[in-house]
Chains A and B, each alone.
Chain A
């Protein structure tokens, strides 16, 4: 990749804000990985593919609620942006089926108001 210039920085920023779409972020620091983030990430990817969901699944660092890992943050246009804590396989499937596809929040896992 060519060397970045100041103009490139501005452009990357602009492009990123313009291309913003629906996304899921999985906490992928030591605390998350230890709690099973890897498996959750795979399940989310697999389910999204199965349901042909229009969603980008990314990794991110530790959001600070280590005792509630694995944590998954979901941003779907027109719905509240939420963190799900203690996500297991079953919840991960529900996140794709209910939240992303069905536009309904999943019960009992939302970590609200902590940050």
Chain B
């Protein structure tokens, strides 16, 4: 049987030697006459970073790192014998564990048969045949699954609370109003594996005694909506929705409601108001939706990712699930890793994985040789985790201890060019935009804080302003009506805590250390370095650069908008930023 050798230079410095090593392997293989047994392939990614030239032999799955030219012949020899070449061998580790994303990228999202072929609806069949609703809730409680929308409330308990009250009608709602900047885990699941969410909802409906379920999906997700619609139609046709599902006495129906894309509608009371056709205002709790929710009936609201976990838990058992993760946070979590990171995308890891493993191990660290500075988890409700604390484990408690939150799973990576005051301003600005305006602390507090932050980034801030920022933050946290206002100051507080020096530099020295805040920086052409190529002249979007290839160029500071495009395009680095 032939072996394939994947080759990739994972080093950062200097030139990419993948092609050279591909050549070395080809040469050695030819020399030894093994053309038919060993086939080298240059790959685009090998799942390892900064470990020199890496080689993986399949199907044996022997992985070698820091391979040098002299190793090539020995590796080829080892392939012939079938034994690993131990000098450079490393243990291949898979850091990801796919439970929620088990079918994403595997099944055809528009094919019911494909989903069934991958154990789809097996859990539902088992539940309807041999589990009482109480037993389902018991299993969910035993599994330790906590809500993946952000707050982390135990799902089994939520179901139990909704099951208890007597009512002629109950509802289960799938919260697909994913609005955090940079987060799209739910979209990934809804688009990639719609049937698993539907199955989770049917099981949830059975457990709480609801005969009706609603999908609340934001209108900005047209592909997700189309696939869920199609899936619901197929389920109706095949009797997986409707009366007497799979020959049991249980009947259940599903509908879709579209959200118009208001961030606050992800909050459950505002979501309920929105479904009822009212303005998306949150209302005080209690009463909780599990007692008095949609149209005054007991309602259980679960996040997309939570529901996608349900079929697996019931199929494989609570014992299996509760062995994954940490003491208090069971299972896995999907993160949407975006920002200044090499490989952005969806990553699913067991709870308790360190931030470092996610950012460097899976996503390959920062782009273009820059240094990662921090990450932001939990979107505008979360906080930053500086690089020094990347040993932090991702679980509900550890992240909270760091002043951040798990949130729904957005993870934005920032590098050395990002100014932390600017980041705080961005997130706060988002919350100010999305504030519904019902309660004063959020409406007024947010706006005032944004004004203060703008003052700081404009170089007009004082230490008094920083103190006031903290003061308003605490007031908002305590007095706001819903989660949006209560958590909106988090990015400010967390950046103030970890990056006080950056705030101080803005205030005391009127400087932006990351050279990001437009009012505090200026670009100047260093004439003795300038090669008069004219690239900056071409790049400037506001014609603030004048001159010619003969006389050289000058930046007109009154016209310059400090966008930094000239700085980016200047090859000899003749433009100084200060």
Contacts and interface: CB of A to CB of B under 8 A. Distances in A.
Interface string B70-107: 00000000000000000000001010101001011111
Given A104-B39, A107-B41, A113-B48, A62 B191 contact: yes
A75 B495 CA distance: 47
A30 to B, nearest CB: 5
B191 A114 contact: no
Nearest to B220: A30
B246 A5 contact: yes
Contacts of B45: 68, 85, 110-114
B110 A59 contact: yes
B345 A65 contact: yes
Contacts of B371: none
A111 B345 contact: no
A79 B79 CA distance: 17
A33 B98 CA distance: 23
A6 B117 contact: no
B343 A68 contact: yes
A86 B45 CA distance: 11
Interface in A92-115: 104-105, 107-115
A31 B223 CA distance: 11
Given A80-B58, A115-B98, A4 B108 contact: no
B433 interface: no
Contact of A105 (B39, B48, B116): B39
Given A13-B117, A29-B191, A80-B4, A6 B125 contact: yes
Nearest to A109: B44
Interface in A3-58: 3-6, 9, 12-13, 16-17, 25, 27-31, 33, 58
A63 interface: yes
B113 interface: yes
Contact of B43 (A67, A71, A110): A110
B6 A112 contact: yes
B187 interface: yes
A6 B121 CA distance: 9
Contacts of B101: 64
Contacts of A13: 116-117, 119
B223 A30 contact: yes
Contacts of B4: 79-80, 105
Nearest to B63: A113
A29 B221 CA distance: 11
A59 B121 contact: no
Interface stretch (B161-169, B234-242, B438-446, B460-468): B234-242
A16 B117 contact: yes
Given A64-B101, A64-B104, A66-B346, A111 B39 contact: no
A113 B105 contact: no
Contact of A62 (B41, B43, B239, B346): B346
Question: Which of A59, A67, A68, A79 is packed against the most chain B CB atoms within 10 Å?
Answer: A67
Given A29-B191, A64-B101, A64-B188, A112 B43 contact: yes
Contacts of B94: 115
B19 to A, nearest CB: 9
B110 to A, nearest CB: 7
A59 B109 contact: yes
Contacts of A114: 45, 47, 343, 362
- Kindly state the interface size class of chain B when it binds its partner: 35 or more
Interface in B226-263: 237-240, 246-247
Interface string B37-68: 00101111111100000001011000000000
Contact of B44 (A2, A25, A27, A110): A110
B42 A108 contact: yes
A102 B58 CA distance: 19
A86 to B, nearest CB: 7
A10 to B, nearest CB: 9
Contacts of B56: 112-113
Nearest to B98: A115
A110 to B, nearest CB: 4
A65 B247 CA distance: 40
A32 B259 CA distance: 24
B114 A59 contact: no
Contacts of B48: 113
Nearest to A107: B42
Contacts of B41: 105, 107, 110
Given A64-B346, A68-B44, A30 B187 contact: yes
Question: Which of B44, B48, B104, B343 is packed against the most chain A CB atoms within 10 Å?
Answer: B44
B305 interface: no
Contacts of B342: 67
B472 interface: no
7 contacts: A3-B238, A13-B117, A61-B188, A62-B105, A63-B105, A64-B188, A68-B343
Interface of B: 4, 6, 8, 22, 39, 41-48, 56, 58-59, 92, 94, 96, 98, 101, 103-110, 113-114, 116-117, 119, 121-122, 125, 129, 184, 187-188, 191-193, 221, 223-224, 237-240, 246-247, 342-348, 362
Interface of A: 1-6, 9, 12-13, 16-17, 25, 27-31, 33, 58-68, 71, 73, 79-80, 85-86, 104-105, 107-115
